[in-house]
Amino acid sequence: MTISIPDLVAVRARRPRAIAEAAAARVRRPLIGESGRLLIVAADHPARGALGVGDRRLAMANRADLLERLCVALSRPGVDGVLGTADILEDLLLLGVLDDKVVMGSMNRGGLSGAAFEMDDRFTGHRAEDIERLRFDAGKLLLRIDFDDPGSLRTLESAARAVDDMAARGLPLFIEPFIVRRVDGTAHNDLSAEAVARSITIASGLGGTSAYTWLKLPVTDDPDDMTMALEASTLPAVLLGGDVGEDREAVYGVWRKALRLPTVQGMVVGRSLLYPAEGSVAEAVDTTVGLLRTHRPHRP
């Protein structure tokens, strides 16, 4: 699909009501489809100021290019939906590519990448009422916890209230938790099995109910320890697909192993699908879909 930025701008400037109309007309679907797996393409990085991919510092700054890549990904069989902030999801609504897709709103984007206030991750994106009003299907929040940063407490409290607000509307909420440590002033996610397990237990206990809570989890530094980390909760989980890098087969092998675990229901993958180190967006997406089809979750 060729993206016409002038057309999008013209609609936004002259007929902003078109966004609400497109949201009201969108054909919806269940969260979990016929495959029993969930594959969501993530595109909420730009709102946090995280625009780099590999050695390209501003790769995601070109909105037309990003939208074209998203449209290709969403057109591939086996892709269930997209995660994004309001601006991106509304562009996609206007382009008419979200029918029969899971649409997931990104809720907290205040902890800007590299900022001194990064751990005070306030909810500056979608609210629960926005997700309900726009007839979106789920929400996502990032929960970074730095035991040395008081800002993490505000994030925890805000996250708990978001869990309550989404559950009151019967809407799934995907929590992406990390234990964070600062090295020379820079925040780093601790991906040890112990830290991932600890983050899971903290996220699982937020709010007055966990009935609608899902987890969005990274693979541990040592993939062999992933089983131990995921034993920390019975909440359904999706894997966070990180940077694939040059050794794609090694990363795919790690994903295959993790997808066998009983709580894992699918994947949410962003830049490694939209900006693959090798090959096209379609090829990267199709490979990931193949992994998911090979390992189907348990059904009661």
pLDDT digits (tens, 9 = 90+) for 4-23: 999 999 999 999 999 999 99
Tokens at 5, concatenated: 């930025």
Q: Is the pLDDT of residue 113 over 90?
A: no
CB 136 within 8 A of CB 20: no
Higher-scoring residue by pLDDT: 150, 196: 196
How much is the average pLDDT of 196-219?
97
Characterise 84 by phi-psi region: left (phi > 0), alpha (psi -120 to 50), beta (else): beta
| Among candidate residues 207, 196, 199, 174, the one with its CA nearest the CA of residue 83 | 174
What confidence tens digit (pLDDT) does each residue in 94-107 have?
A: 999 999 999 999 99
Q: Is the pLDDT of residue 178 over 80?
A: yes
- Torsion angle of the four alpha carbons 248, 243, 214, 75, in this order, in degrees rounded to the nearest 10: -70
d(C-alpha 231, C-alpha 235), whole Å:
10
Higher-scoring residue by pLDDT: 32, 247: 32
pLDDT for the residue numbered 2: 80
Q: Is the pLDDT of residue 64 over 90?
A: yes
Beta-bridge partner residues of 208: none
pLDDT for the residue numbered 237: 97
Q: pTM of the full predicted structure?
A: 0.94
Please report the beta strands in 64-153, taking only residues with DSSP state E, as ranges in sequence order.
Answer: 81-84, 102-106, 138-145
pLDDT for the residue numbered 262: 92
pLDDT for the residue numbered 83: 98
Q: Does domain 5-294 have CATH number 2.70.98.10?
A: no
CB 237 within 8 A of CB 264: yes
Helix (H, G, I), strand (E, B) or coil at 40: strand
pLDDT for the residue numbered 143: 96
Give the CA distances from residue 69 to residues 42, 46, 116, 251, in Å, rounded to whole numbers and listed in that order. Answer: 12, 14, 32, 22
| Among candidate residues 91, 211, 175, 84, the one with its CA nearest the CA of residue 136 | 84
Q: What average pLDDT does the structure give for the chain?
A: 92
How much is the average pLDDT of 255-265?
90
Select the highest-mean-pLDDT range: 13-22, 30-39, 106-115.
Answer: 13-22
What confidence tens digit (pLDDT) does each residue in 50-61 have?
A: 899 888 899 999
Q: Is the pLDDT of residue 199 over 70?
A: yes
Beta-bridge partner residues of 180: 189
| Among candidate residues 68, 78, 8, 91, the one with its CA nearest the CA of residue 36 | 78
- pLDDT grade for 246, boundaries at 50, 70 and 90: low
- Domain coordinates in residue numbering, the chain: 5-294
Residue type, 46: P
Residues above pLDDT 90, as percent of the chain: 71
What confidence tens digit (pLDDT) does each residue in 120-164 have?
A: 888 999 999 999 999 999 999 999 999 998 889 999 999 999 999
Residue 8 burial (CB count, 10 A)? 17
d(C-alpha 224, C-alpha 220), whole Å:
8
How much is the average pLDDT of 60-67?
95
pLDDT for the residue numbered 243: 62
pLDDT for the residue numbered 296: 63
pLDDT for the residue numbered 43: 96
Helix (H, G, I), strand (E, B) or coil at 122: coil
Helix (H, G, I), strand (E, B) or coil at 239: strand
First and final C-alpha spacing in the chain: 40
Q: Is the pLDDT of residue 244 over 80?
A: no
Beta-bridge partner residues of 216: 238
pLDDT for the residue numbered 30: 96
Pairing of strands 186-190, 173-183: antiparallel
Indicate the length of the chain as a whole number. Answer: 300
Tokens at 214, concatenated: 């899902």
